[in-house]
Amino acid sequence: MRQVSGNELGDFAAIYDDDVELISVTRPQADVCASLAERLISSRQVPQLRWVQAANDPDASASALPATLDADVRSALVVQITEASEVLGELMDCEEVGIRLETLSAPMCPRFHVDYVPCRMLITLSGQGTEWIRNNDVDWTVFANLGTTTPPLQADRQIQQMPTGSWSLLKGGAWNEQFDGVVHRSPHGDGERLLLSLDPIV
């Protein structure tokens, strides 16, 4: 299994390749979004937001976000969420997308795990990116042991990290019967992070 890194939205089409487990696409507005996201974290206005919206509705995220947000922060979030929803909707041929926007000060998922969804898009707007292990590097015996938090990593292999600001699309456990899903967890470093995740509703 391999990872695809690129800077074009069209690179996400590689998710349908059998040997691809994760795609990370660099976005040109990442630095600006990171600065705005840090302001949002400091404001304590978005501890946790969840909603479902139409994949091709440009007004949906605008109505879901708090009206009290600074106008430039709110505008940047609307652009990110709207564009990512459209990409995911077209890619997965779904009419709706589940959105989650959260400020995290501690690992939301401290143990390495697999999400039982077809796929999930993760965008760390600020802070450290999600950690993951390449499928071929996973020690599945350790992974199956629910009584340990030891990373299920084969000897001499390394934990990977999704780049902050990039749009990362990972296959989940429900992608198909031939792939177990990307093994990942919240980063264990210090500091707060603003995480945006999108799930296709199929």
pLDDT band at 104 (very low <50, low <70, confident <90, very high): confident
> Cα(108)–Cα(105) distance, rounded to whole angstroms?
9
Contacts of residue 29, Cβ cutoff 8 Å, sequence gap at least 6? 76, 79, 80
Full domain range(s) for residue 167:
2-201
User: Based on the structure, what is the number of domains in the chain?
Assistant: 1
Predicted pLDDT of residue 113: 94
pTM metric for this prediction: 0.92
pLDDT of 23 > 90? The answer is yes
Residue-level pLDDT at 106: 60
Q: Please give the pLDDT value at position 107.
A: 55
Tokens linked to 115 = 């999400």
Find the mean pLDDT for residues 30-50.
76
CATH of residue 19: 2.60.120.10
Q: Kindly tell me if the per-residue pLDDT of 148 is higher than 60.
A: yes
Write phi, then psi, for 71 (nearest 5 degrees): -60, -40
